[in-house]
Structure 1
Amino acid sequence: MISISKRAFVVLTFIFLSGIASAQGQKIEEGFDYRVLPVPQPVETKGKVEVIEFFWYGCPHCYDFEPELSAWVKRQPKDVVFRRVPVAFRDDFLPHSQLYYALEAMGKGDALNEKVMYAMHKENKRLLTEPEIADWVASQGVDRNTFLATYRSFAVVAKARAAKQLAETYRIDGVPTIVMQGKYVTSPSIAGTKARAIAVMDYLEEKIRKDKYK
């Protein structure tokens, strides 16, 4: 009985792994795994692969996708330019966009972005009012007055509003959404899974290179 069970386990394991390999090897197709914008948008850096993640701090799907996306970004070569654009689908979400650009302006983005999301999704902090945001940032060892001056600055407010306009230009209707080279759009919801979305991003990256960054 033991030998039969072992044999059955081996067979089932082989079938399971074969299924995974088959799923990973599925052809990536336009219209199913990604879509092409009808009007491509200009990229900021020529001769590079431009990758934009449209996200919102308060989005649970963005928080869920963050580990896979961060790992993908870390393994990219120098010809890949990655940036995030915060999306405010409502005006009362604009403080989140200001928070993002204020932290970026202070050189604190890389250190605190994931902590902002953790605070919102695991500690139930909304971070929607200026006092609440300033209190939280100060709790992370950042000078409160310096942060508020940056948060209220014309440059940061202008960037937050420009990001909202950019999301509308790209017709972003959900997050997280990845746009590559100003025209290829994918996401875990479009591709079906987080792993599939990463595979699509790898595919599009190579396609953009083959097309000489067009």
Structure 2
Amino acid sequence: MNRRQFALAAVSVAAAPTAVGQDQFQQGQHFIALSQRQPTRDPKQLEVLEFFAYSCSHCNAFEPAIDAWQRKLPAGVVFRRIPVAFRESMVVHQRLYFTLEVLGLVKQVHPKVFHAVHVERRRLDQAPDIADFMATQGVDKNRFVRTFESFGVATMAKQASALASGYKVDGTPSIGVDGRWLTSGSMAGSNERSLLVAEYLLRLAGKQ
């Protein structure tokens, strides 16, 4: 049994309690199939992408559920967050997320950014404001700024935008599966139900 087959079996077992009715998920209704397959980091593993934006209230509400869900994904399934910029002003949040990723601070700070934006109503749309906020979280401000302004983070932001374009993402949160399919709350019926569609697509990917 290779890693993809193992992942298929594990996802099936993990999803068993919620699997009723998943055979009713239909292409074009609950998910779309991409006309051109998108690259994944490792073809030997199944990949799930969460397309999100810090400014999106639905992403904020969905974060606890998708974070708990991704923590239970089996070996052989890779979960990645992809920040989306539908306009130039949102690029700053792409760079914010990837700076956290480079510094190994996603687990510690990522949910706090959502809280700051949507609960505390902090304006984190300018680099100096973001740096000041990071300092309140115990992050070295100079190190954060150097990373935030780095070529590597700028490249990651451009790659994220290319991936979102390739997946035809037109709203957040959306979930991409294995470079082949996209689902979302609007397609699935709710953001929580989109996780069931993602589980269905993971099993489908493992069979192919």
TM (norm. structure 1) is 0.84
Q: Matches of 2:145 and 2:192 in 1, distance apart?
A: 39
Counterparts of residues 98-177 of structure 1 (less than 5 Å): 98-177=95-174
**May I ask how many residue pairs the two structures share in their alignment?**
190
Q: Secondary structure at the match of 1:70?
A: helix
Q: For each residue in 1:111-150, what CA deviation from the matched residue of structure 2 results, as whole angstroms up to 9, or x when unmatched?
A: 1111101110111112111110000000000111111111
* Percent identity over paired residues: 42
Q: For each residue in 1:147-168, what CA deviation from the matched residue of structure 2 results, as whole angstroms up to 9, or x when unmatched?
A: 1111111111221122122222
> Unpaired segments of 5 or more residues in structure 2?
1-16
Q: Which amino acid aligns with 2:171?
A: G
Change (3 A) 1:196 1:140: same
Q: Secondary structure at the match of 1:190?
A: helix
> Unpaired segments of 5 or more residues in structure 1?
1-20
Instruction: State the superposition RMSD in angstroms.
Output: 1.6
| Alpha carbons 1:68, 1:194 under 8 Å: kept | no
Q: Which amino acid aligns with 1:178?
A: I
Q: Return the match for 2:62 from 55, 60, 65.
A: 65
Q: Return the match for 1:25 from 11, 21, 42.
A: 21
Q: Matches of 2:152 and 2:39 in 1, distance apart?
A: 22
Q: Matches of 2:192 and 2:136 in 1, distance apart?
A: 35
| Alpha carbons 1:24, 1:196 under 8 Å: kept | no
Residue 200 of structure 1 and its aligned partner are, at CA, apart by: 0.8
Residue 24 of structure 1 and its aligned partner are, at CA, apart by: 5.2
Q: Return the match for 1:201 from 176, 198, 201.
A: 198
| Alpha carbons 2:167, 2:182 under 8 Å: kept | no
Residue 33 of structure 1 and its aligned partner are, at CA, apart by: 1.1
TM (norm. structure 2) is 0.86
Work out which of the two has the higher radius of gyration on C-alpha atoms and give 1 or 2. 1
